[in-house]
Amino acid sequence: MMHITVALPDDVAQEYYNASEKLKEVLEVGQPDAQTLMRFMLAGFTAHDIAAHFDRALRNITGAPMPDETDTWVFSPGFENAP
């Protein structure tokens, strides 16, 4: 087993802590903590999935067209000049 330390932004980590608290209330069993939820989420992704998420996020940030929608821009090239 490999152990990886990842620094998360506070708001992202808080979502995991909130989710673990909700699960404790709803399930009424065990003590799922935020770190367990993070491990569970990360274990559900393949390398291809992770690369696709990063690709999509970077395309959203830069306004580049999505690979499956080549004629559609998230933001048009002239977005910066919009009134």
Instruction: Please state the domain extents for the chain.
Output: 9-44, 46-78
Q: Which two tokens stand for residue 65?
A: 């067209």
Selected residue with higher pLDDT from 2 and 69: 2
* Residue 80's pLDDT band (cuts 50, 70, 90): low
pLDDT number for residue 23: 85
Exposure string of 54-79, with b = 16+ CB inside 10 Å and e = fewer, is eeeeebeeeeeeeeeeeeebeeeeee
Q: How far is 60 from 54, CA to CA, in rounded Å?
A: 10
Tell me the pLDDT tens digit for each residue of 16-58.
889 888 888 888 767 778 888 888 887 888 888 888 888 888 8
Structure token digits, residue 60: 């959203």
